[in-house]
Structure formats: structure tokens, C-alpha cells
């Protein structure tokens, strides 16, 4: 059962399974999604109608992953907003856990919807928390089975939020795409290594440039700023829809 009491020692606690799948399932859905998009590029315009495209998109399972992550974050945010304490964990702690926690913080706290707040959120919940960026992105040599687009899945979830609440985020789509690009570019040290110990050993802070320094330049901020951002509209708890029709 998704609702399971955890014994006498935790009589007032309830364990809830959120249905967010692991890296293997996410990786396979992404592979199918990429194949679908590549086929669409090769086909003549107008050859496949929108209904068939959406059916094939649904078959990849990618939006189902997005939906479950959004549902999980919404569930946790409602509990926190209701005054309850919430512990979020997955088997290892560095993959699905930040997927949920970082979205919960975006829903609850408008500060993390700003350019600076988003950078702090990623640094805190993903980088410092120990998400294996180099391994999951495939930058580091190793077992290909360990690669998985989990951070990309999270960025997709964030993008879905920006579509549903276009006035509540200071950053725009270009900001998210830049994050994704430099996840693989190796131009900055921000997404290199797999944990804080590795970053310290490799002296990345001294030997590389931070992506945040680059993106925080005044000339760059203009490119990443959402012109429709309204501080008043942002100053509230977000309650997104995880309905399939609400996702794109």
C-alpha cells in the first residue's frame, strides 16, 4: 500500500510511496523520446498530425515521469504548508530525493523562483547534496548503465511550472536551456565531479570558473530574465496541475 504505518516507534508517522521511478526507467523513456523527436525531424512537415504525435509521445512514458514528480512535490508541499514535518528519501538519496525536495522548495518559497534563488537551490539540493553529475551525464568514464537524465527531468518539471505560472518566475526558458547545455559542455566546474569530496580533491573551485559567475554578469542576466515576472504574483504558494492535459 502507498500508505503504510511504520510501527510503534513511529506511531504518528505515515510512509507514502510517490511512484517516482528510478534512473533505469527514466533513461529508457528519454531514449524513446529522443528517437521520436529525431524521427519527427526527418519526416516531412504535415505528414503526421498532432493526435498521432501526442499518442507516440505518451507511449514514451516521459511525461508520466514528469507527472509523478510534480504530483509528489505537490503532495509534500501541501503537507509542509499544513504544518506537518516531511522526510523525503529514495534508496540512495542523491537521485529522486533532490527531484522532489528542490521542486517542493520552488512551490513553497518565491525566493527560489528568482535568478539568484534558483542558483542557490541547485547548489544546495543537487550539487552539495551529492547528485553524481559527472556519472549521470556520462562525462566521466565508467559504466554506461549509470547514465540517466535525472537533472534534465527536473529541468523539464521546472519548465512545466513556468508554463503554468508564467508571471511567478524571474528566469526564463533560456536560463533553463543554458543550465542543460553546460551540464554537458564541461566549460565550467559547477557540474563536474560527483560529490563535495571529489570537488575538494580536484580543487575545482580554484582551477575552474563557476557557471553562476558567468550567468550572474549584468549582460547575461538580461538574457535570462522573464519580462512577465511579477513579484506580487510570485509571492504565493504554487499549486500546479499534474493532469496530463496540463503538461506539454
Annotated catalytic sites, by residue?
A: 90
Phi/psi at 77 (nearest 5 deg)? Answer: -65, -35
Phi/psi at 3 (nearest 5 deg)? Answer: -110, 115
The helix (run of H) or strand (run of E) holding residue 241 is: none
CA-CA distance, 228 to 67, in Å (whole number)?
25
* Contact present, 62 and 30 (Cβ < 8 Å): yes
* Contact present, 212 and 122 (Cβ < 8 Å): no
Strands (E), the chain: 3-5, 14-16
Q: 195: Cβ–Cβ under 8 A, 6 or more apart, which residues?
A: 130, 132
CA-CA distance, 196 to 208, in Å (whole number)?
15
* Contact present, 17 and 25 (Cβ < 8 Å): no
Q: 217: Cβ–Cβ under 8 A, 6 or more apart, which residues?
A: none
The overall longest dimension of the chain from CA atoms, in Å, is 63
* Contact present, 65 and 29 (Cβ < 8 Å): yes
Amino acid at each position: 500500500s502507498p500508505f503504510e504505518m511504520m510501527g510503534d516507534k513511529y506511531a504518528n508517522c505515515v510512509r507514502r510511496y510517490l511512484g517516482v521511478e528510478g534512473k533505469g526507467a527514466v533513461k529508457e523513456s528519454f531514449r524513446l523520446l529522443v528517437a521520436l523527436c529525431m524521427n519527427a525531424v526527418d519526416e516531412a512537415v504535415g505528414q503526421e498530425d498532432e493526435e498521432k504525435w501526442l499518442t507516440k509521445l505518451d507511449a514514451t512514458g516521459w511525461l508520466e515521469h514528469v507527472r509523478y514528480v510534480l504530483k509528489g512535490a505537490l503532495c509534500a508541499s501541501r503537507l509542509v504548508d499544513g504544518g506537518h514535518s516531511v522526510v523525503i528519501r529514495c534508496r540512495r538519496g542523491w537521485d529522486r530525493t533532490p527531484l522532489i525536495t528542490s521542486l517542493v522548495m520552488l512551490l513553497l518559497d518565491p525566493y527560489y523562483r528568482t535568478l539568484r534563488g534558483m542558483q542557490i537551490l541547485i547548489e544546495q539540493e543537487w550539487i552539495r547534496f551529492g547528485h553524481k553529475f559527472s556519472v549521470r551525464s556520462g562525462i566521466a568514464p565508467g559504466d554506461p548503465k549509470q547514465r540517466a537524465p535525472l537533472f534534465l527531468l527536473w529541468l523539464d518539471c521546472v519548465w512545466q511550472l513556468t508554463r503554468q505560472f508564467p508571471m511567478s518566475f524571474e528566469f526564463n526558458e533560456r536560463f533553463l536551456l543554458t543550465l542543460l547545455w553546460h551540464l554537458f559542455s564541461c566549460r565550467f566546474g559547477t557540474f563536474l565531479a560527483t560529490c563535495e569530496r571529489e570537488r575538494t580533491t580536484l580543487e575545482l573551485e580554484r582551477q575552474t570558473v563557476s557557471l553562476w559567475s558567468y550567468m550572474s554578469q549584468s549582460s547575461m542576466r538580461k538574457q535570462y530574465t522573464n519580462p512577465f515576472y511579477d513579484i506580487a504574483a510570485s509571492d504565493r504558494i504554487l499549486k500546479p496541475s499534474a493532469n496530463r492535459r496540463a503538461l506539454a
